[in-house]
Amino acid sequence: MPKKLRLALSATLLLAASPALAQQCGGDFGAWKAQITQEAQAAGVGERGLAALRAADVDQRVLQRDRAQGVFSQTFNEFSSRMINNYRLENGKRNLDRYADVFARAEREFGVPGPVITAFWALETDFGAVQGDFNTLDALVTLAHDCRRPDLFRPQIVPLLTLIDNGTLPADVKGAWAGEVGQTQMLPSDILTKGVDGDGDGKVDVRNSAPDVILTTAAKIRSRGWRAGEPWMLEVDIPDDLPWEQTGRVNRLPISQWAEWGVKAHDGKPLDISQPEAGLALPMGRKGPAFLVYRNFDVYLEWNQSFTYTLTAANLATRFAGAPKLDPRRPEEGLTGETMKLLQQKLQDKGYDVGGIDGILGTMTRDAVRQEQLRLGLPADGWPTPALLSNL
């Protein structure tokens, strides 16, 4: 491993392991940037990287985007039906054929199937067509200096400067507003540590080289805990009389138990009881779509913490692997916008941590809903309805 890479990794690990250091934020921007400069120099970043840092500045557009993430206020059916479209399905299958040898190498070396990689490739940038127009260094500097979530973004600055310094990325590299780069929108630390030269040209190019994109993405997915040869998701049909308190992503049970309770694959086939334990995910309650989610599904949440996005990505991967179109079913009316905020406020008043009054049905809100459903003797499916709101 080159010396500069070792030094950059050491600096990244130091920041990640030291909350006090990572949390330094706000205050005079020039003085704050001087601290970053010292860290970069200590990590071995040379003049090219340091010059890029000197030119970096706060981008107000980034702060506006960070505070206005409304996409995940959509329901799972709304979001997935919009994101899993014919363009992505057709181009995904075309790319799976075109780069079949590269995908075979990715599965052989990293254990990650081609459909899983392709789903991220499709959702993140439409196979490289839309990689973002934000200056990546400005975006990371902005988010690291801002005091909302500096611990997430400050550890990415030195890796990015290292990539700029060694010529892997240009100083003015563009990407997403949150600092991701390339066709599958990877953070600099992942490019630095997981980058794979898939086309053999002597460099890692996650912006323009499909083989580099595929293999680097596979390396990242494996690093998050992917288990080779195991499934990630299966759409299922469920009976009306499940013990609802046993449902939920993290409550994994033997497949034989789900089968005993009457859960079946959506195609009507019996469940394969030889598969590992799984939880039952109900993104829109017991009357909406239902999925058995296995241990590999946790890797999706390592990629993105939104339950709606991750279920969509996992479902798209099953489509690329040959599964039929999702059945949206007939979920009960849910809560959106102001009514969701009202529910969150009531739950917070009862002592639950819902992660903020934002009108978004996140994991913490779902967990609180399940607890209240159990308390009220309602089916604990984690789906907030007007009836639940009235009961509260």
Q: Rounded distance, CA 167 to CA 158, Å?
A: 14
Residue 111 falls inside a structural domain: no
Residues 51 and 156 in one domain: yes
CA distances from 266 to 9, 237, 278, 318, 380 (A): 45, 5, 16, 13, 22
Query: With pLDDT > 70 as the criterion, what percentage of the chain qualifies?
Result: 93
If asked whether residues 151 and 51 sit together in one domain, one would say yes
Does residue 117 lie within any of the structural domains?
A: no
For residue 66, what are its two tokens? 């960070």
Alpha carbons within 13 A on the beta-carbon side of 382: 22
Q: 161 near 40, Cβ under 8 Å?
A: yes
pLDDT at 70 (0 to 100): 56
The Cα 292–Cα 298 span in angstroms is 12
Q: What is the pLDDT of residues 314-362, one digit of tens each?
A: 999 999 999 999 999 999 999 988 999 999 999 999 999 998 898 889 8
Is 90 within a domain?
A: no
240 and 154 in a common domain: no
User: Is the model's pLDDT at 201 over the cut of 60?
Assistant: yes
Task: Verify that 2 and 141 share a domain, yes or no.
Answer: yes
pLDDT of residue 4: 38
Looking at the fold, whether 23 and 154 belong to one and the same domain comes out as yes
What is the average pLDDT value for the chain, to the nearest integer?
92
Indicate whether 121 belongs to any domain.
no
User: pTM for the full model?
Assistant: 0.90
pLDDT per position as a tens digit, 44-61: 999 999 999 999 999 999
Residue 116 domain-assigned (yes or no): no
Residues 246 and 303 in one domain: yes
Residue 355 pLDDT: 86
Domain-terminating residue out of 320, 349, 369: 320
Question: Domain residues for 286?
Answer: 233-320
Same domain for 30 and 156, yes or no, is yes
What is the reported pLDDT for 11?
Answer: 42
Quickly count: other Cβ atoms within 10 Å of residue 200's Cβ: 9
Q: Answer positive or negative: Cα dihedral of 136, 138, 144, 147.
A: negative
pLDDT on residue 74: 86
Binning pLDDT at 50, 70 and 90, where does residue 206 land? very high
**Is 273 in the same domain as 244?**
yes
Q: Which long-range contacts (CB under 8 A, 24 or more apart) does 277-280 make?
A: 277/252, 277/253, 278/234, 278/252, 278/253, 279/247, 279/248, 279/249, 279/250, 279/251, 279/252, 279/253, 280/236, 280/238, 280/242, 280/246, 280/247, 280/248, 280/249, 280/251
Residues 143, 35: one domain?
yes
Q: What angle do CA 378, 292, 94 make, to 5 degrees?
A: 135
